[in-house]
Amino acid sequence: MTLAAVLLAVSCGQNKPQKALVLYYSQTGTTKAVADAIQTALGADAEEIVALTPYDGDFGATIARCQEEMAQGILPEVEPLKADLSQYDVIFLGYPIWFGTYAPPVKAFLNTIDLNGKKVVPFCTFGSGGLDSSVKHLAEKFPKAEILPGYGVRTARADSIPAEVDHFLKESGFVAGEYFKAEPFGEAHAVSEEEAAIFDTAVGDYPMISAKAVEVAVRTVENGTEYFFTAENTGGVPGSIIKVYVLAEEGKDPVFTQVLR
C-alpha cells in the first residue's frame, strides 16, 4: 500500500483502504493536468477516456463538430473501460466543460459504465464555468452514486492546479495534512466603488462576460480575499443575473475563478 493509500484509509476512518481510480477525458491537456496531480497525490490508478475519432481540431472545428453531432442526436464512440470498476471504491471523474456540461465523449463513456454505489469525485476544467450543471447531470445519470464535493478550475488559471488540488484533497479528507480553512462568505452587501473596480478588473478582458456588479459577499482565503459577486448582464440577456467568484491574491491582479449562470 502506498503512503497516500494508507493516509486515505486513515483519513476516512476505515480499516479497509479506499482504492481510487482517476478516469478523465482531456482534449487539450488542462483536465489531464488535474488528473495527473490527483493521481500522483493519491498513488491512484488512472485511465484516459478516448474517443475513437479524436476531437483533434482547433476550438472552432470542435465546436462545429459538436454542433453537428448534437443536431443529429449522436454521441461519439469511445473506447471501452479497461479497468475493473469493482476493484475501486472512489472514482475521480474528470472532464472539460463543453456546452455547459461534461464533454460529449464523457457523456458517451458514462453510457458504458455504472457508477451507482460508487463514491464519485467530479473534477473539471472550463473557460468560465463551472462544475454545477455537470454534477447535476451526473446525479441524474447515477442516482445511487454518492457524489462528493468536486473541484473545478479555469483553463486560464492552470498554473494554480498543483496548489489547489493539494488543498482540495486535504480539505476533502483524501490526503492528510494541514491546509487553510477559509471561513464561509459574510453577508452580501451592495458593492462599493472599490469592489466594483475589482469585479471589472477580474472580468475585464473576458469576451463572454459583460456585466455590472451589484452585490458582493467577501471572505478571507489563504493568500488574499475571495469575492462572490452578483452581477447584472449588460450583454447577452440584459438584466439577467450571473454570479461570479473572484480571487484577489496579494501582489496579483484580481481574477475570476468561476461563473454561475
Ligand X SMILES: Cc1cc2nc3c(=O)[nH]c(=O)nc-3n(C[C@H](O)[C@H](O)[C@H](O)COP(=O)(O)O)c2cc1C
Nearer to ligand X, 129 or 150 (CB): 129
| Closest to 110 measured CA to CA, from 131, 127, 95, 88 | 95
Minimum gap (Å) between residue 210 Cβ and ligand X: 15
- Please identify which residue in 7, 30, 211, 227 interacts with ligand X, judged by CB under 6 A: 30
236 belongs to the binding site for ligand X (CB under 6 A) = no
* CA distance linking residue 67 with residue 73, whole number of Å: 10
Which region, judged by CB under 6 A, interacts with ligand X, from 119-127, 144-152, 170-178, 193-201? 119-127
70 belongs to the binding site for ligand X (CB under 6 A) = no
Edge-to-edge strand ranges of the sheet holding 255-260: 189-190, 211-221, 224-233, 241-249, 255-260
Q: Which of residues 49-68 bind ligand X (CB under 6 A)?
A: 59, 62-63, 66
Minimum gap (Å) between residue 9 Cβ and ligand X: 30
Parallel/antiparallel/unpaired status of strands 119-126 and 90-98: parallel
109 belongs to the binding site for ligand X (CB under 6 A) = no
Minimum gap (Å) between residue 28 Cβ and ligand X: 3
* CA distance linking residue 198 with residue 257, whole number of Å: 13
| Closest to 93 measured CA to CA, from 74, 70, 128, 118 | 118
221 belongs to the binding site for ligand X (CB under 6 A) = no
| Closest to 188 measured CA to CA, from 219, 233, 218 | 218
Which region, judged by CB under 6 A, interacts with ligand X, from 29-37, 46-54, 84-92, 225-233? 29-37
SS3 state of residue 172: coil
257 belongs to the binding site for ligand X (CB under 6 A) = no
Which region, judged by CB under 6 A, interacts with ligand X, from 108-116, 122-130, 163-171, 227-235? 122-130
Nearer to ligand X, 4 or 245 (CB): 245
Cell of 223: 493568500
Number of residues forming the site for ligand X (CB under 6 A): 22
98 belongs to the binding site for ligand X (CB under 6 A) = yes
- Cβ–Cβ under 8 Å, residues 106 and 25: yes
Q: How far is CA 91 from CA 86, 113, 159, 207, in A?
A: 11, 12, 24, 35
- Cβ–Cβ under 8 Å, residues 122 and 134: yes
Minimum gap (Å) between residue 226 Cβ and ligand X: 19
Which region, judged by CB under 6 A, interacts with ligand X, from 95-103, 107-115, 138-146, 231-239? 95-103
C-alpha atoms less than 13 angstroms from C-alpha of 32 in its C-beta half-sphere: 8
- Please identify which residue in 17, 18, 48, 127 interacts with ligand X, judged by CB under 6 A: 127
The residues binding ligand X (CB under 6 A) are 26-32, 59, 62-63, 66, 96-100, 125-129, 155
